[in-house]
């Protein structure tokens, strides 16, 4: 029996390797200084989906992401690694969404493109670290959720149940849950398989509507334009708020109960530090000082 799986993935600024130029003088983020990447834990989620596809032939894996036109990159990356199709949920109406408005938009898109047996995403995205969208999508769809998943151990098609190992504070837990189900996967779960060379060949020219528009804007020429007619899978699908029948009052900034009141670059109390080198003399002096004031020993 085959399954229908959706993988939720997000394009995020790489906040892990932030240099000194990441912040502008006025305390706002210099996005241009941060490369956009596939949210790391979403790759772990994709791997869990692809393993089920290996195990249950005929299974389809659908990438679902939300963002600006360039976030079609996420769909392509998913296709390179074995996903079957994807949707980019993109609309100005979604801009400024907090986690609640984001999960509303994603839930409407899932209703429109589903039904799915499993909806799998990363535990959290590195730009917000909230871990809220997965559970909120589950609630909006009225589905059970299993968060902090380490591995999908077993899927019983007859009983329509999955067994999942998950991390809890100070330990591990194995749970059994019926599907349809929302699962969020930890970064410590199995890493995602690399790109498949054949799939890269197949999909490297796949483009979203806005990506194509960006190329042809100002009189640019879309290379291999005829390919997009003969090979429909190269046209990455985009969904607008209207396409998924979203209620605009629940989208974007308008649909976000939380508001950012203030943002500051943090400053810590700076101290007058005692500076020294790593020479034997200096290190010995430091150790003696710490011993004499009973900080150590």
Partner 1 sequence: MNNVFVYLEIEGQSVADVSLELLTKGRKLADRLGVKLEAIAIGSKLDGIERQVMPYGVDALHVFDDPRLSPYTTQPHAAVLVGLFKEEKPQVCLMGATVVGRDLGPRVSSALKSGLTADCTSLEIGDHDDPKTGKSYKDLLYQIRPAFGGNIIATIVNPEHRPQMATVREGVMKKEILDPDYKGTVVRHDVNEYVPDAEYIVKVIDRHIQKAKNNLKNAPIVVAGGYGVGSKEGFDMLFELARELHAEVGASRAAVDAGFVEHDRQVGQTGVTVRPKLYIACGISGQIQHLAGMQESKIIISINTDPDAPINTIADYVVVGKVEDVVPKMIKYYKAHSK
Is there binding between residue 296 and partner 1 (CB under 8 A)? Answer: yes
Among 42, 46, 49, CA closest to 2:
49
Is there binding between residue 102 and partner 1 (CB under 8 A)? Answer: no
The residue (of 68 and 187) whose beta carbon lies closer to partner 1 is: 187
Is there binding between residue 283 and partner 1 (CB under 8 A)? Answer: yes
Binding residue for partner 1, selected from 51, 111, 112, 167, defined by CB under 8 A: 167
Is there binding between residue 169 and partner 1 (CB under 8 A)? Answer: yes
Is there binding between residue 131 and partner 1 (CB under 8 A)? Answer: yes
* Residue 69 CB partners (closer than 8 Å, separation 6+): 88, 90, 208, 209, 210, 211, 213, 214, 238
Is there binding between residue 145 and partner 1 (CB under 8 A)? Answer: yes
Is there binding between residue 274 and partner 1 (CB under 8 A)? Answer: yes
Q: Is 226 exposed, middle or buried (0-12, 13-18, 19+ CB in 10 A)?
A: exposed
**How far apart, in whole angstroms, are the C-alpha atoms of residue 2 and residue 113?**
17
Q: Which two tokens stand for residue 180?
A: 């349809």
Is there binding between residue 198 and partner 1 (CB under 8 A)? Answer: no
Least Å from the CB of residue 44 to partner 1: 13
The residue (of 225 and 287) whose beta carbon lies closer to partner 1 is: 287
**How far apart, in whole angstroms, are the C-alpha atoms of residue 71 and residue 21?**
24
Residues 19-78 that bind partner 1 (CB under 8 A): 22-23, 27, 29
Least Å from the CB of residue 86 to partner 1: 25
How close are the terminal C-alpha atoms of the chain, in Å?
66
Part of the chain binding partner 1 (CB under 8 A), chosen from 71-79, 146-154, 205-213, 233-241: 146-154
CA atoms within 13 A on the CB side of 139: 11
The residue (of 57 and 171) whose beta carbon lies closer to partner 1 is: 171
Binding residue for partner 1, selected from 70, 144, 193, 210, defined by CB under 8 A: 144
Is there binding between residue 262 and partner 1 (CB under 8 A)? Answer: yes
Q: Which two tokens stand for residue 165?
A: 């190992």
Residues 208-237 that bind partner 1 (CB under 8 A): none
CB atoms within 10 A of CB 292: 10
Cβ atoms of 267 and 117 closer than 8 Å: no
Among 19, 185, 6, CA closest to 89:
6
Is there binding between residue 242 and partner 1 (CB under 8 A)? Answer: no
Least Å from the CB of residue 195 to partner 1: 22
**How far apart, in whole angstroms, are the C-alpha atoms of residue 179 and residue 142?**
12
How many chain residues interact with partner 1 (CB under 8 A)?
Answer: 80
Least Å from the CB of residue 191 to partner 1: 11
- Give SS3 for 55: helix
Binding residue for partner 1, selected from 132, 196, 210, 235, defined by CB under 8 A: 132
């Amino acid at each position: 029996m085959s399954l229908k799986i959706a993988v939720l993935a997000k394009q995020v600024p790489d906040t892990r390797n932030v240099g000194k130029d990441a912040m502008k003088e006025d305390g706002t983020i210099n996005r241009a200084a941060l490369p956009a990447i596939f949210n790391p834990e979403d790759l772990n989620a994709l791997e869990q989906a692809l393993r089920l596809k290996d195990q249950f032939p005929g299974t389809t894996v659908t990438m679902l992401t939300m963002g600006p036109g360039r976030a079609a990159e996420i769909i392509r990356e998913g296709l390179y690694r074995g996903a079957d199709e994807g949707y980019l949920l993109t609309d100005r109406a979604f801009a400024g969404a907090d986690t609640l408005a984001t999960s509303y938009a994603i839930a409407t898109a899932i209703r429109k493109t589903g039904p799915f047996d499993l909806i799998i995403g990363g535990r959290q995205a590195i730009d917000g670290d909230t871990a809220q969208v997965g559970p909120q999508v589950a609630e909006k769809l009225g589905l059970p959720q299993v968060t902090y998943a380490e591995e999908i151990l077993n899927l019983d098609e007859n009983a329509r149940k999955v067994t999942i190992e998950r991390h809890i504070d100070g330990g591990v837990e194995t749970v059994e849950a019926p599907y349809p189900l929302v699962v969020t996967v930890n970064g410590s779960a199995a890493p995602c398989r690399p790109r498949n060379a054949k799939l890269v060949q197949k999909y490297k020219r796949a483009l979203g509507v806005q990506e194509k528009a960006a190329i042809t804007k100002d009189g640019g020429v879309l290379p291999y334009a005829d390919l997009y007619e003969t090979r429909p899978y190269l046209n990455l699908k985009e969904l607008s708020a209207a396409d998924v029948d979203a209620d605009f009052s629940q989208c974007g900034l308008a649909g976000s109960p939380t508001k950012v009141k203030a943002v500051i670059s943090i400053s810590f109390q700076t101290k007058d530090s005692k500076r020294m080198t790593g020479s034997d003399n200096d290190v010995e002096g430091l150790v003696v000082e710490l011993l004499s004031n009973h900080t150590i020993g």
